[in-house]
């Protein structure tokens, strides 16, 4: 397979690994601060609804933009958003509403990743190797889903 594919695959693995720890950390902070499973469930519900709505409205537009720029830009912006809770926690000004707002923003900003990654894959991989490339891209996702369910 092509060198560009392996860079995309590595970025995908890092993205999935970081996203897993982000949700785990935010969940732990919310539960630690509120001692409420209801607050934790609300955060996960808000994240899921925001991501679903963003995918519903933003995914059809992904074919009309610069794929590489949007893929990299959304990841860089999302990475910047992930730093915000750390900075707020250091200055002891992290509140529950801020975490909910960040969860919504991260769900929306992370939305372009999946459809663009699939479209971008067709651009960098030969059509004969596309099914194998798709299998490789699903590997980290399958491992992540298995880890979340355990």
Per-residue pLDDT of the chain (150 residues), as tens digits, is 577 777 777 877 777 777 778 888 888 888 888 899 898 899 889 999 998 998 888 877 776 777 778 877 888 888 888 888 888 888 888 888 888 999 899 888 888 777 777 777 777 777 787 777 777 777 765 555 544 444
Residue 74 contacts by C-beta under 8 Å, 6 or more apart in sequence?
A: 109, 110, 112, 113
Radius of gyration of the chain (CA): 17
Please report the pLDDT score of residue 143 as a whole number: 52
- For the chain, the domains span 3-149
Length, in residues, of the chain: 150
End-to-end CA distance of the chain: 32
**In this structure, what DSSP letter does residue 65 have?**
S
DSSP-assigned states of every residue in 92-125: T---HHHHHHHHHHHHHHTTTHHHHHHHHHHHHS
Residue 19 contacts by C-beta under 8 Å, 6 or more apart in sequence?
A: 110, 144
Do the beta carbons of residue 124 and residue 93 sit within 8 Å? no
Please report the pLDDT score of residue 146 as a whole number: 47
Please report the pLDDT score of residue 150 as a whole number: 42
Helix-then-strand count for the chain, H and E: 6, 0
């Amino acid at each position: 397979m092509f060198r560009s594919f392996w860079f995309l695959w590595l970025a995908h693995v890092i993205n999935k690994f970081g996203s897993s720890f982000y949700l785990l950390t935010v969940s732990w902070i919310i539960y630690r601060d509120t001692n409420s499973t209801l607050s934790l469930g609300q955060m996960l519900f808000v994240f899921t609804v925001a991501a679903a709505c963003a995918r519903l409205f933003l995914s059809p537009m992904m074919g009309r933009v610069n794929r590489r720029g949007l893929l990299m830009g959304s990841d860089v912006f999302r990475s910047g958003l992930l730093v915000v809770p750390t900075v707020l926690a250091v200055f002891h000004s992290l509140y529950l509403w801020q975490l909910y707002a960040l969860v919504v923003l991260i769900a929306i900003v992370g939305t372009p990743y999946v459809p663009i990654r699939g479209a971008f894959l067709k651009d960098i991989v030969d059509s004969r190797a596309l099914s194998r490339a798709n299998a490789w891209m699903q590997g980290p996702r399958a491992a992540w889903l298995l880890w979340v369910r355990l």
